[in-house]
Structure 1
């Protein structure tokens, strides 16, 4: 438990749960006085379910337009195209409905609209670097609401991940008011999420909690809330694996994702699992929701000398106090039936040097609790996960 620290409250209004998404969004649009609501949505939800149509109907004449073409890993090319369409539609509120890529896209669309960035290269110079936490963005006049269909939890922080396809590099962009004003949790939206994506994104949410508890700059509130989040996710993911129709378990998962993100909300820096995971996605095309499954046991093993007490509390939250945290997490991944090694997701040792080099560009590499001083240190972790 961290005995000293500080907590920063995020730039958001509320989290709403226990109410259908369409009803909650209509009420929020009315509260905010929005007249032109632009939807950025999952294509699956838009084309194979009636969930998005329910939302359009509920918005009535406040509805402006819908975009459903966001790719995995949220590319610059598509977000600038989306921003141009949102600007032309006169959007005064952007709503993201879908998984992490959709939520990330909506965040950066706000900034592209504000700065009229409609070409991919226009984002150069705004990315977060180890020396600069926030990009030189203006505060956007248009804000967003998120309705997540997965559990990754990116909606609970002010950063976004966008891939520069020219360099096969995923970059972080950040500004305090890229945080959604409101997050709406509706388990009905999640019923259509494929099992591997649901379970994998749940482990990604656990990543937020684990790295916050182990962080060099955590605090007492974050520790307590993130540990409860891990308990909710451990229970909820196990139950939805056994019974996908267990709505109470799905709600537990959503609440666990929210709680596990408390560190990110408070700007507690993450560590090597985030840094390496971003590179695995942007450079090696590994689905984001598999990165934690294959990397976290090895990251915990590497970090154990600096985080022994924190890891004991993590193992207990995972229901295995008798095990090391890395072993407890690996056993949970096996129970969920997710990939467990880099080889399982098509990443061989021939890519390790490049991954190590690109991971050193991440702000989270510098904040890992067990120091990472050079690419060779990253390669050591990768070999543990090979």
Structure 2
């Protein structure tokens, strides 16, 4: 394999997102960061948006409520956000926002409450007009929803859909590893694979500038290093904080000139998640490794180079060929999923085999040239773990 890169990415554009005013990180940072962000944003009353499990089974939401009450900035808490952000919860959340007298949302939890809050803001803007309402996100998983401008949710027909605007991304983010201690292990680790999915697919995502891809290399290295450490010792705050920063690097906030979807693994995950009730972390556990393996056959030379570079960043020697290096990276991802105890299968989630062609078709958006290859690797995901 030649050591000389053939990358043609010598022209481009980069800008920060429209909305982000500040990101604070560090164990225990919420108590000081939340009041600072509220001051920066000129917010007076906050609606806390979260999921029922986090609200009922942990004290995480109570801690956030307490900080808001101490500041006399607490309006109410809405905790009816389900997995994959059903539209019914979003509608109810928008009504709760209006009734509470809040002027900002503080979301607490994983990708579902953060995306649901973006959708609530979108529909409030559609209904009420004026400036977009704003959100401060306090994530407790590694799904990285807080860095994107899109909001995925499940519509009335059970299909995954989305809204998008540059003004939907959170205006403030707090990465506080102490608030992640109550996150169930499999949720924490599987969303770490989701972050890995972001980082890997950003390596071949259109319109992404090279410096962001180098950040993704850093994310990949830290996710491979600290996810096993976090499994070894779930109370290791240092590892958890490093993982939160790695998730940040995996989907660095960026304002792109053109729409740029992440890639096939994510597209498949959206189709599998909403329709069959598979958590997004576990869709990445299923689809990322085989997607990377497929890239060895169908990707451009430039995309293969970026993927092969990840192998070298992980300290693994080249196999001697570009295609071989991409396949080897796929094997390392597969091995990490297995070592974390996250190996799963489509039959475990009762995905009918007869649905595979339509799943592939919808994920590919009409790219018929690789349809049969995608169906084939989905077939391979039926063997029991």
- Shorter chain as normaliser: what TM range? 0.7 to 0.9
Measure the CA separation in 1 of the matches of 2:120 and 2:247. 24
What corresponds to 1:309 in structure 2?
Answer: 305
Gaps of 5+ in 2: 1-6, 319-324
Q: Does 1:333 align with 2:341?
A: no
**3-state SS of 2:343 partner:** coil
Aligned to 1:173: 163
Aligned to 2:375: 379
**Contact kept in structure 2, 1:208 and 1:264, CA below 8 Å:** no
CA distance in 1, matches of 2:234, 2:241: 12
In 2, the alpha carbon distance for the partners of 1:108 and 1:39 equals 15
Is the 2:17–2:253 Cα contact (8 Å) retained in structure 1?
Answer: no
Query: What SS class does the counterpart of residue 241 from structure 2 fall into?
Result: helix
- Asked if residue 154 in structure 1 is aligned to residue 145 in structure 2, the reply is yes
1:226 aligns with 2:216: yes
- CA shift at 1:183, angstroms? 0.7
What SS does the aligned partner of 1:8 have?
coil
Query: Structure 1 stretches of 5 or more lacking a match?
Result: 118-137
Greater shift, 37-46 or 185-194, is seen at 37-46
Q: Does 1:269 align with 2:261?
A: yes
RMSD (Å) for aligned C-alpha atoms? 2.2
The verdict on how the C-alpha distance between 1:46 and 1:197 changes in structure 2, with shifts beyond 3 A counting, is same
Residues 215-252 of structure 1: per-residue CA shift (max 9 Å, x gap): 24332111111110111211111100111111110011
CA deviation string 1:42-64 (max 9, x = no partner)? 32332233332222222222110
Distance 1:216 1:85 in 2: 38
2: distance between equivalents of 1:149 and 1:372? 39
Using the size of structure 2 for normalisation, the TM-score is 0.86
Aligned to 1:132: none
The structure number with the bigger radius of gyration is 2
Q: Tell me the residue number matched to 2:174.
A: 184
Aligned equivalents of 1:152 and 1:355: distance in 2?
22
Q: Does 1:45 align with 2:63?
A: no
SS in 2 for 1:262: coil
- Distance in 1, matches of 2:89 and 2:51, equals 14
The 2-side partners of 1:265 and 1:69 are apart by 31
Other-structure match for 1:116: 127
* Maintained 8 Å contact 2:33/2:174: yes
Residue 237 (structure 1) aligns with: 227
Structure 1 residues 317 and 194: alpha-carbon distance in aligned structure 2, compared to 1, 3 A threshold? farther
- Which residue is equivalent to 2:23? 15
**Aligned-pair CA distance for 1:372:** 5.4
Distance 2:209 2:277 in 1: 34
Instruction: Decide whether the 8 Å contact of 1:97 with 1:103 is kept in 2.
Output: yes
| Offset from partner CA, 1:12-35 (integer Å, 9 cap, x none) | 122111243133112211222211
TM-score, reference length from structure 1? 0.86
Structure 1 residues 381 and 264: CA distance shift in structure 2, 3 A: farther
Q: CA separation in 2, counterparts of 1:381 and 1:271?
A: 16
Q: Which of 206-215 and 195-204 deviates more?
A: 206-215
Contact 2:16 2:253 in 1 (8 A): no
What is the CA-CA distance between 1:348 and the residue it aligns to?
4.2
* Structure 1 residue 309: Cα displacement: 1.4
2:95 paired with 1:81:
no
Q: Return the alpha-carbon distance in structure 2 between the equivalents of residues 212 and 294 of structure 1.
A: 18
- Matched residues in 2 for 1:139 and 1:289: separation? 35
Kindly indicate whether the alpha-carbon contact (under 8 Å) linking 2:278 and 2:349 is maintained by their aligned counterparts in 1.
yes
Contact 1:153 1:205 (8 Å CA) reproduced: yes
Aligned partner of 2:190 in structure 1 is 200
Change (3 A) 1:222 1:258: same
Aligned pairs, number: 357
Matched residues in 1 for 2:91 and 2:172: separation?
23
Partner of 1:130: none
SS in 1 for 2:170: coil
Shift of 1:264: 6.3
Call closer, same or farther: CA 1:211–1:375 in 2, change over 3 Å.
same
Say whether the 8 Å CA contact 1:209–1:230 is kept in structure 2.
Answer: yes
Question: What residue number does 1:57 align with?
Answer: 66
